[in-house]
Amino acid sequence: MIEWLGADRVVVDGRPFDVINVKSAKDAPGATAIRKTRWMVERYIELADALEPRRVVELGIDRGGSTVFLAVLMRQLERLLAVDIGAVPDGLAEFVASGDWAERVHCHGGVDQAERSPLLSLVDATFGDEPLDLVVDDASHLLAPTRASFDALFPRLAPGGVFIVEDWSWDHQVGRVIADRMRSGDIPPPADPAAGLNRDMPLSRLLLECVLVSGYAPEVISDVRIRRGWAEIVRGPAELAGQDFAVADHMGWLSGRVLEQAFEEA
Ligand SMILES: C[S@@+](CC[C@H](N)C(=O)[O-])C[C@H]1O[C@@H](n2cnc3c(N)ncnc32)[C@H](O)[C@@H]1O
């Protein structure tokens, strides 16, 4: 069912996908380009086997290749809700209209992950009271919008369900590229060393909070698996107040002090 043709082309159920981490000439219209590295795609293949997800939410569609990939990969899929702040691309709309996918794959454009209530209304309309097995966040990669959708959707996972945050280290990677280029003399050091950098708190803050919650309240977050810029946050068995859930409320006062001190010293 799954065959790799070279390093960056994978065929799932007879459907070819180009695995491209950044936009490139190969990133042609049509829902065939997956904006991920090969090991991320391999990890989804492992998770599809291990978790057998039936109800899935994807935040961040881009060309639609990842949405089609998840749909054809997950054999037990009952429903996949995919949203993006931009429009649903034609290639993805054509895929959904083919075969019997329209029943299982629901795509919505114009949805901002930062807006909790519209997002939850869509989730309610798509899944009713049924819990989610998997949420994939590959959207803004910014702290505030990512936190908003994490706080909204994490309580909707079933115990053992997985919330994936892709590319949480994006800000750090950009910082590294700039630092390397300055060191090599490629670009001059700016008068203000922080000029041009994103001065907002990076997304990594949310991941640090999740790690601290997993230590303080494992009934809320039972596991955090991090590999490079990828994170899998596993929901524990606790009852969680859906409307008002905020992960930061579950890390305990000492964790708050650790984080504040770390950021004051940075
Ligand atoms: C990295 S691309 C997604 C790639 C796709 N998941 C894949 O693997 O092929 C990020 C997408 O997130 C969307 N996005 C950015 N900010 C968003 C927000 N606040 N809410 C929802 N979607 C957002 C962008 O429009 C873009 O299509």
Q: What is the pLDDT of residues 58-116, one digit of tens each?
A: 999 999 999 999 999 999 999 999 999 999 999 999 999 999 999 999 999 999 999 99
Task: Please give the pLDDT value at position 260.
Answer: 87
CA of 174 to the centre of ligand 1 (A): 18
SS3 261: helix
User: Among 61, 153, 168, which is best to mutate for testing ligand 1, by the most ligand atoms less than 8 A from CB?
Assistant: 61
Q: What is the dihedral of CA 155, 156, 158, 159, to 10 degrees?
A: 0
Task: Please give the pLDDT value at position 16.
Answer: 95
pLDDT in tens, 174-231: 878 888 888 888 888 776 666 655 568 899 999 999 999 999 999 999 999 999 999 9
Q: How confident is the model at residue 261 (pLDDT cuts 50, 70, 90)?
A: confident
Q: How confident is the model at residue 173 (pLDDT cuts 50, 70, 90)?
A: confident
CA of 185 to the centre of ligand 1 (A): 33
Task: Please give the pLDDT value at position 107.
Answer: 98
Average predicted confidence (pLDDT) for the chain: 92
Higher pLDDT among residues 223 and 24, named by residue: 223
**Ligand 1 atom at minimal distance to the Cα of residue 167:** 1
Cα–Cα distance for residue pair 68/180, rounded to 1 Å: 37
Q: Residues 6 or more apart from 24 whose CB is under 8 A from it?
A: none
Ligand 1 pocket, residue 35 CB under 6 Å:
yes
Q: What is the CATH number of domain 2-168+203-265?
A: 3.40.50.150
Cα–Cα distance for residue pair 223/220, rounded to 1 Å: 9
Task: Please give the pLDDT value at position 206.
Answer: 96
Task: Please give the pLDDT value at position 194.
Answer: 60
Ligand 1 pocket, residue 37 CB under 6 Å:
no
Least confident of 27-36, 63-72, 114-123, 167-176: 27-36
Nearest alpha carbon, ligand 1 atom 7: 35
SS3 11: strand
CA of 170 to the centre of ligand 1 (A): 14
Task: Please give the pLDDT value at position 121.
Answer: 97
Higher pLDDT among residues 30 and 210, named by residue: 210
Task: Summarize the chain as % helix, strand, coil (round to 5).
Answer: 40, 20, 40
On the question of pLDDT at 25 being above 60, the answer is: no
Cα–Cα distance for residue pair 207/15, rounded to 1 Å: 34
**Ligand 1 atom at minimal distance to the Cα of residue 145:** 19
What's phi and psi for 57, nearest 5 deg?
-120, 135
User: Among 22, 24, 84, which is best to mutate for testing ligand 1, by the most ligand atoms less than 8 A from CB?
Assistant: 84
CA atoms within 13 A on the CB side of 171: 16
- Residue 157 burial (C-beta neighbours within 10 Å; 0-12, 13-18, 19+): buried
CA of 236 to the centre of ligand 1 (A): 27
Cα–Cα distance for residue pair 152/165, rounded to 1 Å: 14
Task: Please give the pLDDT value at position 30.
Answer: 76
Least confident of 15-24, 30-39, 108-117, 207-216: 15-24
What's phi and psi for 255, nearest 5 deg?
-60, -40
**Ligand 1 atom at minimal distance to the Cα of residue 86:** 25
Domain ranges across the chain: 2-168+203-265
Name the residue among 146, 141, 168, 164 with its Cα closest to residue 56.
164
Task: Write the DSSP string, 114-143.
Answer: T-HHHHHHHHHHHHTTPPEEEEEE-S---H
Q: Residues 6 or more apart from 133 whose CB is under 8 A from it?
A: 51, 52, 53, 54, 55, 56, 157, 158, 161, 162
Task: Please give the pLDDT value at position 197.
Answer: 55
DSSP state of 107: E
Higher pLDDT among residues 177 and 54, named by residue: 54
